[in-house]
């Protein structure tokens, strides 16, 4: 794929070429924005490849100036009255393309912002949304969704290198063993909304219900046929007691990963290192809370703050706990364990300051049985016992 047409303006002599393409014959150049673009284009070629930060700032300035000029002239452009518009648009496109190669970090953050559902920042208190941690932004924009922890290490190496290619091209230049290691931590995103619905949990009769199981999840990740998957998607009380949970140290089984979406839908599934993480449920979109949950035959037994992609803390988990309090009436929250990132254990009831339920009053003693005249078969049995 060739370079954008406006790339010629960013090379040596580009400022002169741009002035020529945007100059009116015999007219003096007076537009302040065009004069600033002229100056920026004259300075840009002198920046060396190693001056990545300065090049980024210069390109951002050029993009902003082009945006400003195009905005001011929008009416003329709409009526086809601006001969300069084509050159300015070409320059804008070339600057943006060159920026992508220099500043994938900015591109990643922009992509994350686009994932935030409209209106989801409202009415959720002091911790409305939890976005992916910065080392995982690259995981979202990577078409293979290789884990962000590994990508960020390579990204830092690329930033320090003298490479002028994009970050993704830089990865393709790496040794085969490096690329194989990255392929082994390719996180699966549930972007099929029908399959995503199978990870939803529901609440009924004070219990947690789900169609998900390790068997069903493995079938989804293996891309088996839908009819076969749906055959195994029976709604039943959620039970994670036998689920592998290698995300938690010292706890090999019994926990599921969960997220609470901005629409307050709970999703739960089996955490599989390097394959299925908290980012999998919503394809990297922001969440209200995430962590680990332990459920036994539909009854909640424990909640753990552990989650690497979003790093939800207590302030975010409280949103989830309030949701559970509403959905699971009758639960004794002093019997539900809450474990922090640091491993401190307490009850959900203690964390939220809930009052303990009063113990049921003792049953009144049974009245002493009165001896009454016995008759019928009972009297015959006693008589037989006395005569024996």
pLDDT along the chain (388 residues), means of 10: 80 92 86 93 86 82 89 84 90 82 53 47 49 71 84 85 80 90 88 88 94 93 87 92 76 86 90 88 86 95 87 82 92 92 89 78 60 42 46
The pLDDT of residue 285 is 81
> Which residues does residue 337 pair with via DSSP β-bridges, in sequence order?
302, 347
The pLDDT of residue 140 is 79
CB atoms near residue 19 (< 10 Å): 18
Phi, psi values for residue 225, rounded to 5°: -65, 150
For CATH 1.20.58, the residue range(s) in the chain are 5-102
Residue entry with tokens 């993704």: 168
Residue entry with tokens 């199978």: 198
Q: Which residues contact 247 (CB under 8 A, 6 or more apart)?
A: 255, 257, 271, 273, 292, 306, 308
CA atoms within 13 A on the CB side of 7: 7
In terms of Cβ atoms closer than 10 Å to its own Cβ (0-12, 13-18, 19+), residue 12 is exposed
Are the C-beta atoms of residues 22 and 37 closer than 8 Å to each other?
no
In terms of Cβ atoms closer than 10 Å to its own Cβ (0-12, 13-18, 19+), residue 89 is middle
Q: Would you tell me which CATH number, out of the four given (1.20.58, 2.60.40, 1.10.287, 1.20.140), belongs to the domain 5-102?
A: 1.20.58
Q: Which two tokens stand for residue 126?
A: 């002091």
- 296: DSSP letter: E
């Amino acid at each position: 794929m060739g370079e954008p047409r406006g790339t010629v303006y960013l090379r040596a002599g580009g400022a002169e070429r741009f002035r020529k393409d945007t100059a009116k014959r015999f007219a003096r150049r007076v537009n302040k924005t065009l004069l600033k673009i002229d100056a920026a284009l004259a300075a840009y070629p002198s920046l060396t490849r190693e001056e990545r930060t300065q090049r980024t700032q210069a390109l951002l300035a050029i993009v902003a100036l082009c945006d400003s000029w195009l905005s001011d002239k929008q009416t003329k452009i709409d009526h086809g009255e601006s001969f300069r518009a084509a050159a300015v648009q070409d320059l804008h496109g070339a600057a943006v393309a060159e920026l992508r190669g220099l500043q994938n970090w900015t591109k990643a953050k922009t992509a994350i912002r686009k994932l935030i559902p409209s209106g989801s920042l409202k009415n959720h208190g002091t911790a409305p949304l939890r976005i992916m941690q910065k080392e995982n932004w690259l995981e979202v924009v990577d078409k293979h969704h290789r884990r962000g922890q590994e990508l960020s290490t390579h990204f830092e190496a690329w930033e320090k290198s003298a490479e002028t290619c994009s970050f993704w091209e830089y990865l393709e230049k790496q040794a085969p063993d490096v690329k194989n290691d990255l392929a082994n931590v390719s996180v699966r995103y549930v972007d099929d909304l029908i399959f995503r619905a199978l990870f939803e949990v529901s609440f009924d009769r004070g219990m947690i219900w789900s169609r998900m199981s390790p068997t069903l999840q493995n079938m989804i990740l293996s891309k088996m046929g839908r009819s076969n998957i749906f055959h195994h998607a029976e709604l039943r009380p959620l039970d994670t007691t036998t689920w592998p949970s290698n995300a938690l140290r010292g706890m090999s089984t019994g926990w599921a990963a969960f997220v609470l979406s901005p629409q307050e839908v709970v999703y739960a599934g089996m955490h599989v290192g390097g394959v299925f993480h908290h980012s999998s449920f919503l394809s990297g979109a922001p969440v209200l809370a995430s962590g680990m949950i332990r459920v036994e035959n539909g009854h909640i037994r424990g909640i753990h703050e552990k989650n690497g992609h979003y790093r939800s803390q207590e302030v975010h988990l409280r949103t989830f706990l309030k949701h559970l309090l509403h959905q699971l009436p009758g639960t004794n929250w002093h019997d539900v364990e809450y474990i922090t990132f640091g491993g401190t254990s307490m009850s959900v009831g203690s964390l939220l300051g809930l009052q303990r339920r009063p113990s049921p009053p003792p049953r009144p003693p049974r009245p002493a049985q009165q001896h009454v005249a016995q008759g019928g078969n009972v009297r015959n049995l006693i008589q037989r016992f006395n005569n024996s």
